[in-house]
Structure 1
């Protein structure tokens, strides 16, 4: 990994070999990709392995509540125009999974790494990134993650004085507060549909004023910085004011925003916006998200939504009524076990859609839909739901482990 000039130590090589062996055994046993367990074993043998693997790479870190996996994939595609890329493309975004991913990219020039929000500061310390992309912060996994203002504070402290170029969304006050401690920030106007976590000023606690697309605190003067990149409809505006068309197969405004941030990252490494955006067109689906699959002679589109902001963006993607919608919610460890976030989602946006509900927490979701005045049926499993669906492409929206369950069932 580290090239001829600075080979891995014998201990690091042993750790990489052992990690790969454990990962292979885990895959052979049918327990997933093995990347997390492999990385854990490797880090146990050499606690400094992540830093060693990163030392000869240009590392780009991507963190956010929503859009990390997709943006990581878009950046990786764009940067392949400038050299080989290694990336944790399947979304294993804590130190063990990141270590596993980097161990597999011996001739890479770039490391494009998705990082869980809670681990960003530590991973940045270990990998000495050239660039960090910060997209958004909103409530997620209420039992696991501290409230969003504390996450923003962790980012702010962890990134203070970082040498990295920070590409940050100037439309999210929490991201701006977090990034403002960095000496080298490039602001991107990527938009913010979900605003319910940013009504109070992260700097002083005052009430945010939000005229139009602008925002500022009337008490301390903390305000939206002027962007140098911007999403404008179907185009990205670069720092010179040129408008570049966004070519994506992925649907929705949120993915155009991800593309705008990705183009800004690519430019840091000399890849022009036109080249970056054209390369992003290769991406059809990301770890199963947005895939249209055939199941029981029906077309199902698989959509992942893990928290209120994600559900809001996803509702804007789905086919208009009367397209049938299947909703599946679990509350396992990877989802967060607290489902009170369901009350933050505006399910009245599904009015006119036939709705079918499944998953471990289908009754929690049923109560929420009842209160929202929606018509729905509770189903035992995907097969039953699909059989009950009226004609039309079926939109399937699920949170994290429910999404994995559905992918296994449809053979995706």
Structure 2
């Protein structure tokens, strides 16, 4: 367990109190949870507050382009077997949101923190994590995010000299290259369905060869490391070769991969795979994702897909045709305003599904579906889309702010 720290200074206590007050005002005004504004106010009053709040915690940082919110939740559930956990469960994953989350964890033993990819190195410097989980890197928010190779380089530089145990996906070459600068790495065979951001070697720029389930650079020899934790069908194989069943309520292979990483993280804190995986069974939804809600007399399953890799995983989750599908895309600041990523998504996989399109950028999406040769309806609202859908449960897939809009509309 992390060493206890001195009680918070008067300045730090004032910062926490002011942050909570700002968050409460934000919630009362209907502006969201208030975690970001609360954290900003607190950090303005005490720029060292994040470091102070994390001083007594054994911290896990979780970063990736896809899957970090779910994996953070699964790790938190597993670590509760060993003590109280504080976590930014709603996904506010930049320093302000993390500060808000940790301000409520004075009695916690563990801090399980989701971190935006761009802020991983900075947050790690502040909170001195015991473990860092790295899941994947792929293109996202194209108008402002760094190219994936540059993000991997930031991670690689930030992890040099870190005392943390890094739990990293051996199947993603970018993650492997980033994690290889660390002194202590646990490799996990978690898989990588989306490969379009990792065809060239991050070490030398050569072409990666991908025979079967492995990969290697033919020019410099950079290659997939041997994993010690493996997702094998519906089980996790631990470093001793023992198989532990995965029985999640969350759907899909991607969540089994998330559970495998979470089990490897829990093991670094002395929690057995059996206990960790059993505790993960209680997670039925994550911040509204995978929830089935009733709206206008119909059952809608809410699915989040923020970028090409996320859409690819989500298509593997939906019920087969003729299940109706509603797609919603926005391009607000939190989404990234460049919608060219739509052309990287294989929407032809939706052939046979009745499709309705909503959201701020429904016409952009409609053009993409037209080129894919799909039939669809463009609708001005979710209510109109639901009325046009044939009978049966409706799969509703949306990117970030569109997903939040849908949740507000259905009262979730």
TM-score of the two chains, using structure 1 as the length reference = 0.99
Shift of 1:28: 1.1
Matched residue, 2:14: 14
Superposition pairs of residues 148-159 of structure 1, within 5 angstroms: 148-159=148-159
CA contact (8 A) 2:236 2:245 kept: yes
CA contact (8 A) 2:36 2:92 kept: yes
CA contact (8 A) 1:63 1:134 kept: yes
CA contact (8 A) 2:4 2:55 kept: no
Judging changes above 3 Å, is the alpha-carbon distance between structure 1 residues 188 and 5 closer, same or farther for their aligned structure 2 residues? closer
Shift of 1:161: 1.5
Matched residue, 2:230: 230
Unaligned runs of 5+ in 1: none
1:330 to 2:330 alignment? yes
Say how many residue pairs are matched. Answer: 411
SS of the residue corresponding to residue 30 of structure 1 reads coil
In angstroms, what is the RMSD of aligned CA positions? Answer: 0.9
SS of the residue corresponding to residue 83 of structure 1 reads coil
Matched residue, 1:99: 99
**CA displacement, residues 134-157 of structure 1 (integer Å, 9 cap, x when unaligned):** 000000000111110000000000
SS of the residue corresponding to residue 270 of structure 2 reads coil
Matched residue, 2:39: 39
Matched residue, 2:257: 257
SS of the residue corresponding to residue 391 of structure 1 reads coil
Superposition pairs of residues 168-247 of structure 1, within 5 angstroms: 168-247=168-247
**CA displacement, residues 272-328 of structure 1 (integer Å, 9 cap, x when unaligned):** 000000000110000000000001111100000000000000000000000000000
Distance in 2, Cα, partners of 1:258 & 1:280 = 11
TM-score of the two chains, using structure 2 as the length reference = 0.99
Shift of 1:4: 7.3
Matched residue, 1:340: 340
SS of the residue corresponding to residue 326 of structure 1 reads strand
**CA displacement, residues 118-141 of structure 1 (integer Å, 9 cap, x when unaligned):** 000000000000000000000000
SS of the residue corresponding to residue 332 of structure 2 reads coil
Distance in 1, Cα, partners of 2:255 & 2:100 = 27
Shift of 1:58: 0.2
Unaligned runs of 5+ in 2: none
Shift of 1:3: 9.3
Judging changes above 3 Å, is the alpha-carbon distance between structure 1 residues 390 and 197 closer, same or farther for their aligned structure 2 residues? same
CA contact (8 A) 2:3 2:55 kept: no
Shift of 1:5: 5.1
Shift of 1:264: 0.1
Distance in 2, Cα, partners of 1:75 & 1:6 = 27
Distance in 1, Cα, partners of 2:180 & 2:4 = 38
CA contact (8 A) 1:235 1:244 kept: yes
CA contact (8 A) 1:3 1:107 kept: no
Matched residue, 2:147: 147
Matched residue, 2:165: 165
Matched residue, 1:308: 308
Shift of 1:29: 1.2
